[in-house]
Amino acid sequence: MIDRLPPLRDVIAAHDLQPKKALGQNFLLDLNLTAKIARQAGDLTGCDVLEVGPGPGGLTRGLLAEGARRVLAVEKDARCLPALAEIETAYPGQLQVINADALEVDVLQHLTPPIRVVANLPYNVGTELLVRWLTPQDWPPYWDSLTLMFQKEVAQRIVATPGTKPYGRLAILSQWRAEARMVMTLPPEAFTPPPKVHSAVVHLQRLAAPLFEADAKVLSRVVAAGFNQRRKMLRSSLKGVSADIEAHLSAAGIKSTERAEQVSIEAFCALAREVAKEKAP
Ligand code: SAM
């Protein structure tokens, strides 16, 4: 038992929280498991935590039991609020719940660094949130680390290395500015209802500075174009990025006949720097 609150099955029944597919609601009901996920974020004492999508609050309870200084839980589904209010009462002053879309919340209005992000993300906005956390114009960002549950296939794309099938935009944006590791895998049965796929927790520790210099917007644009047509040679997949793409590829030391999958993060950053020079000569 991690706290004195009722078991999650009782909470769900009491508040009639029938999971909704459209909101990506696959709940974790085993509090030992949610505490284990919370521990993957490291020592939470002295840290504020942003949790996206607390649902009935299993992971929220894990985070508070693990000693988080303060948790900001952003939940889109208003049906979950009464269940979360019970947790607020059990941890006075430590939990703030906001009924909102996580894509719209200004985190620094509510939390004070050091901030860790820990979430069992809804599949429909998971990658969008990750990309936003990784691509602010300035670095370092407001967060120290991200500990996130994804479907396993997405987790594999985050930690992938060049030359492998899952290597692409997510691997480059993640590893350019953070150290990314897959720290746990979970079978479908760990969730209620069980999803069709396996899941995994990825831990991303931000780097003090990006691995290689590049403008976040330009790098994102170049990488997105390159992998959008990943079977094509770069000279053709990147045509829309610049009229001079062949010259930029050559200046960055990349063969124009190469495919995006073969190109390292370092080389993509060199290419982004060449493309950026066009606008700021
Ligand atoms: N954290 C809970 C757990 O582990 O059992 C629930 C995880 S469930 C996979 C995802 C949660 O995100 C749901 O509670 C869902 O209502 C919520 N959600 C979906 N879209 C959201 C959004 N745009 N902003 C905030 N929460 C969202």
CATH number for position 252: 1.10.8.100
CA of 161 to the centre of ligand 1 (A): 29
Q: Say if residue 134 is in the same domain as residue 269.
A: no
Q: Please, which pLDDT band fits residue 2 given cuts at 50, 70 and 90? A: confident
Among 206, 236, 251, the domain boundary falls at 206
Number of domains within the chain: 2
User: SS3 string of 144-166?
Assistant: EEEEEEEEHHHHHHHHCCCCCCC
The CATH number for 161's domain is 3.40.50.150
| Counts of helices then strands in the chain (DSSP H, E) | 11, 9
Task: Report the atom number in ligand 1 closest to the C-alpha of 37.
Answer: 4
Cβ 62 under 6 angstroms from ligand 1: no
CA of 129 to the centre of ligand 1 (A): 12
Whose Cα sits closest to atom 22 in ligand 1? 101
Residue 27 Cα to ligand 1 middle (Å): 9
Query: From ligand 1's centre to the CA of 75, what distance in Å?
Result: 6
pLDDT digit string, tens, across residues 176-189: 999 999 999 999 99
137 plus 264 within the same structural domain: no
User: What average pLDDT does this structure show over 44-58?
Assistant: 98
Q: Provide the β-strand partners of residue 119.
A: 148
Residue 107: burial class (beta carbons within 10 Å; 0-12, 13-18, 19+): middle
- Judged against a pLDDT cut of 60, whether residue 281 lies above it is answered with no
Local structure of 73: helix, strand or coil: strand
pLDDT tens readout for residues 207-236: 999 999 999 999 999 999 999 999 999 999
Q: What is the per-residue pLDDT for 1?
A: 77
What is the mean predicted confidence (pLDDT) over 25-52? 97
Determine the straight-line distance between the first and last CA of the chain, rounded to whole angstroms: 62
Ligand 1 atom at shortest distance from the alpha carbon of 119: 1
Residues 148, 239 share a domain: no
120 lines ligand 1 (CB under 6 A): yes
Q: Is the CB of 55 under 6 A from ligand 1?
A: yes
What is the span of the domain harbouring residue 173? Answer: 8-206
Claim to verify: residue 271 and residue 159 sit in the same structural domain: no
DSSP 104-121: G--GGGT--SSEEEEEE-
Record the pTM: 0.97
